[in-house]
Amino acid sequence: MKRILLFCGMLLLTACASKIDNIKADKDTLSKIDEGYLLIGIETNRDLKAIYVDGPKSFILTAQDIRSGSNYILANLPLGEYTISRINLNNYSYLDLDDEKEQWQFTLAANKINYVGHLNITTRGFWYTASQIVLENKSSQAIEFVESNYPTILAGRSLNYGGPGEDLFFPFIEKTLTKQEVKQ
C-alpha cells in the first residue's frame, strides 16, 4: 500500500511541475512585467536525477539541466516566493526538504536577475548514502559568471539577491559603480 501511495504522490508531484528552459544565448527575453530572471548555482559531486521547486510556477530541474556545461542555471520565471522541496539523487533515493522550509526559500523580484544562491550537494556512500545540502550565498562568483556569460542581459538589468539571509555585496557593487560613473 505504501508503494502505491508513493507512486501516486510522485505522479501528482511531477504532473504539477514543468521543465524550465535554461537561457543559453545572451539575449534579454523578459517580456512581461510580472517576470524576473532566476540565477542559481548548483554544485554537486554526483549526477543528480532532478530538483523540484514549488512556487507560482512549480518546476523541475532535470539531469540534463544539472549536468549542462556550467554549474549555473538562468531562466525567466513569474515573480513570487519559491521553495526547493525535493532532490532526487537517482531513480531510487531522494531527499525531502520540507523540514526547514525557510532555509530553502527564495524570492524573485520584477525585472531583475535574481541570484538565489549556490545549492551545494555533497553525497557520500553508494548503497547507504549520506548527503549534506546547503544553499549558500556566493555573490561574487555569481556576478563574475553573469558579467562573462550574459553581459547584454546584465547591461539592462540589475542583480538582486533573493535567497535566504541578507546580502550586502550587490548593493555595495551597485553603489560603487554609480559613484564611479558620477566621477567620470
If you average pLDDT over every residue of the chain, what do you get?
84
Chain centroid to Cα 109, Å, comes to 14
pLDDT tens digits along 87-110: 998 888 888 887 677 789 999 999
Burial of 36 (0-12, 13-18, 19+ CB in 10 A): buried
- Tell me, what's the pLDDT at 118? 94
**pLDDT at residue 93, as a whole number:** 82
Residue 9 has pLDDT above 60, yes or no: no
Tens of pLDDT, residue by residue over 145-156, are 999 999 999 999
- Strands in 35-129 per DSSP E: 35-44, 50-54, 59-62, 72-78, 80-88, 94-96, 105-108, 113-124
- How many angstroms separate the CA atoms of 58 and 181, rounded? 40
| Amino acid 69: pLDDT | 43
pLDDT of residue 1: 62
- Across residues 72-88, what is the average pLDDT? 94
Tens-place pLDDT, residues 44-58: 888 889 999 999 999
Contacts with 68 (C-beta within 8 Å, 6 or more apart), sequence order: 22
Average pLDDT over every residue of 123-141: 85
Please, which pLDDT band fits residue 68 given cuts at 50, 70 and 90?
very low
Mean pLDDT of 108-113: 94
Backbone phi, psi, residue 49, to 5°: -85, -50
Measured CA to CA, the distance from residue 184 to residue 179 in angstroms comes to 9
- Band the pLDDT of 3: cuts 50, 70, 90: low
User: Which pTM was predicted?
Assistant: 0.83
